[in-house]
Structure 1
Amino acid sequence: MLDINKSRLEDLSESTKTTVLKWRNQHHIRSMMFNQNKITVREHEQWFENLKNNQNQIVKVFYYDEIPMGVVTFTKIKNTLLYEWGFYIGNIEAPKGLGTLLGVCALDYYFTSMNKHKLVGEVLAYNQKSIAFHKKLGFQQEGILRQHYSVNEKLHDVHLFGILKEEWFEIRPYFNK
């Protein structure tokens, strides 16, 4: 059984940035992203440098048992107080269920350390695992943008999710079991 006490989030660093690029370029991760292009080393380096002065994006590496396993990002939505999140487990040796721990750590961080009131997520309709994941974590589906995003010249719906701070703290004890 996985132990929440063995998980933590750390800032993306020089020591983990190459691993994150490798994970992000894996086909099974790229194919679920809005940007499905393979990221070059140069693009990644530029992104990493820009993060240092970017107050609107927070990138954390998720660790389990001292091993980097995944990534979570929080990106401020322009002209709002809200952030949108993105996440993935990149380590192919990650034990089953680790995504849930990543989600719990991320939501705890967002609502406690960042002290925000609402988090939103957007999911491509064909990413059924992510849709189920959001619902499992207590997100409410707030809408569907029909035929909204083009992937390989095919239009896809985008599911919109949101969770309020009080909703998270209501469901949070369930994940201590």
Structure 2
Amino acid sequence: MLPWNRLTELKGHQGTVNSANFSPDGQRIVTASDDKTARVWRTDGLDSLLAQGCDWLNQHLIFNPQDLETLAVCQTPANKTAAAQFWVYQGETQARNGNIEPAVELFRKALAWNPNFNLNPQQKAQQLAEASELVTQGEAAFVIRHTKSAFITPCKRRRLKSQLHKQSPPARTRL
């Protein structure tokens, strides 16, 4: 059984309910059952049901602002402010991967949801992309340097060994 809380229970059908739909105004639910009946139920209000759903999804929506963006009913000022930091995180990831324009768009969304952020979307994306490129270049140089030294070290060692042998005093012979 799935771990979920029942919002409400509609009792009255004698058979399995195989269809349920909200009325256009959200004030009623129409159900149809295998017992060959249809029933019309008043809701406690779609808004209260939606609010409960938003409360249950709260943490998910904050960590996944793209989902919150699609659910206008859940976009409270507190949720938008909290989720804005994850737009920034996603933008930083895009920028580090060299995707400047998507990063700028994500930073702009973050600013729209939390104007208290102190960032320039274009500048931040550009700086992160440049920094990432410098790191990549540094890593490549490190690998090349160590690859060269891995090859050069045995050669240097042989030269040094032969020079040491030339400079070593002759072995003493025992009389």
TM-score, normalized by length of structure 2? 0.25
More helix by share: 2
Tell which structure's C-alpha radius of gyration is larger. 2
More strand by share: 1
Higher relative contact order (CA 8 A, sep 6+): 1
